[in-house]
Structure 1
Amino acid sequence: MDLLLLLLDLVGTFVFAISGATVGVRQRLDLFGVLVLSFAAANSGGIVRDVLIGATPPAALADWRYLAVSCLAGLLTFYRHALVERLRNPVQMFDAAGLGLFAVAGASKALAFGLGPVAATLLGMLSGIGGGIARDILVARTPVVLQAELYAVAALAGAAVVVLAHQLRHPHVPALVIGALLCFGLRYMAIRHGWHLPVARPRD
């Protein structure tokens, strides 16, 4: 199970790093700026999660593989940006994939550290949305989680699947897969069809 969680974390790190690096290239940052943005997008949520559950030092800082995967994704995007851009709306697709992977991995790690179901679900969501928030703040954008189609709700749903399966003592691996797919599916459908929560409309 530890190996599976590590694999989920690293795959999520890679896809989130691509989303961060793509934003950096679009903002015309230099190579260092793109790498910083790729690392921030890929690891901020996991770092906050690990600090909150007492898993210190955070895995993203203690394990060189997180930095290596982030830099690899950043370099790939920087030098092969045209290839990445051939994918339809690549930032949102990679972001949706990272969101699903981090949401289920975050919830699973929180459960492994003995947190209750509500806290584990919320930390799973935080793991998913933290990187996107850091990425957007660094380029002076309003974070996607605060304005776009279903985002945090999708992460919350994916994390909830893992927690519910744990509470019902169902097999863990299928729950991780279902949770990640549910999160990705909700986010994809929200992007495609414009699903969103009610938006504040101040009176004139």
Structure 2
Amino acid sequence: MPLAEFDHIVIAARDLKSGLAHVGRALGVMVPQGGVHPTMGTHNCLMRIGPAAFLEVIAPNPEAPAPARPRWFGLDTPPAEPRLAHWVIRTADMAALHPDLPPASGPAIEATRGELRWQITVPDDGALPYGGAFPTLIQWAPGTLPPRQMPDLGCTLTRLQIRHPEGAGIAGRLKPWLADPRIEIGTGALSLVAEIATPNGVRRLT
């Protein structure tokens, strides 16, 4: 039985408007509003892409004070253009899996958005582990799984392709506790590509 499951993909942007436009061009849909993250000085928009999976567009929140620590997902220096920057897997036992993560994943911290509570791995410098190729690990509070509360807009993740110069090592490290035929990890120049079935057909998001 897998000890971790796919949770969501992360579209990093300098602002939500550009991030939403990027997803809209790629998928032909508008991502609904999410909320704010007080600890990190960020805000997001969220869209369900499966019964237990979602897409997140996230950016620095211009109305929030600067956080006391580096922002997650490398958002202290957001990309010049919005992009699929990262992916997140979830577990029901952070304490058991965290020791198996590479040091680049960072410690597990507590985070909130409205009434939601979770633990999530965040490097001390806020950088993306392996440039975004190695997933962040999250544990939602018991009884909460955000996509189950999101409207179904007819979008479903069918494939997530990850490439990294150390792709074979990343895949080997994840294999003992993550099994998902949609996720393909290989060796090559860093890239993340999601294929998503939409009301407009299967689209690619990068």
Q: Same fold (TM over 0.5)?
A: no
TM superposition score normalised by structure 2: 0.27
Identify the structure with the greater helix proportion: 1
Say which structure is richer in strand. Answer: 2
